[in-house]
Amino acid sequence: MTEKRVKKLLVTGAAGGIGRTIRTMLEPVAETLRLSDRAGLGEAAAHEEIIYCELTDKDAVEALVAGCDGIVHLGGQSVEADWQTVRDSNIEGLYNLYEAARIHQVKRILFASSNHVIGYYPQSQLLDAQTPPRPDGLYGVSKAFGEALASLYHDKFGIETAIVRIGSCFPEPVDHRMLATWLHAEDFVSLIECMFEASRLGCPIIYGVSDNDVVWWDNRQVAYLGWKPKHSSAIFKQILDEKMERPHKDAAVSVYQGGVFTEHPIMQRDEK
């Protein structure tokens, strides 16, 4: 980026795994980073603001968004859970965020969706931005809701959203499935830069994945953003082959894009 297009960027879920990883990488994106989570954000750097907030608190979320001109929404429940937990964080909380964005006229958002929105598709099928959801759990259902909500607020209010179906944003792949789903943190940050630099964003579905040799997802329909991931999981293939056996070809982790998430039961709150 040659200049910082965003004056104040809100990053929700900044204490989570992805948020912690990209926090120091985001300084070139905005003049000020407003970091938010329930807890655990430590000390603010000179270019940072820290505001603790519960996404279910509508008034607190409205105050959180005030003064921002861009949002990277990583907040919410990040794995499968009981319905009440998923509903509160990922449905009620997301609605509060988009309403706050409407009220304060924030026009560009990155919504961290998930590969678990399409988890029941077979690994043999190449998916693109037009592929409809086939969620593999309640978490995936909540992300499908988020994609629909982003579409509504784009059509009705002109709020542009990069809907990013994130694969596996880890320092390195931890199993063979991640050879297809791995997203390097630097590639994710470059996507964030591209979405704020673009003269036109719209409301595209983007698969958050690096330039891996194993390909399940096709991003050609969003080529206009100019995003070109530079990293590949290929360098980890031999390491994984030596470290662990490949799963059986009929195992869920070998058949479905969502892997073992397709095997998870519907969790009840008293099972937590």
| Residues designated catalytic | 139
Where do runs of H (alpha helix) occur along the chain?
17-22, 58-65, 83-86, 93-103, 138-157, 178-181, 185-197, 237-243, 252-255
Q: Greatest CA span in the chain, whole angstroms?
A: 54
The residues, ordered by sequence, that sit 6+ positions from 40 with a Cβ below 8 Å of its Cβ are 15
For residue 12, what are its two tokens?
A: 């929700």
For residue 84, what are its two tokens?
A: 């009440």
172: left (phi over 0), alpha (psi -120 to 50) or beta: beta
Q: Give the span between the Cα atoms of 169 and 147, in whole angstroms.
A: 19
Beta carbons within 10 angstroms of residue 38's beta carbon: 14
Q: Give the span between the Cα atoms of 57 and 53, in whole angstroms.
A: 8
Contact in structure between 98 and 92 (CB atoms under 8 Å): no
- Give me the half-sphere count of Cα atoms (radius 13 Å) on the Cβ side of residue 244: 11
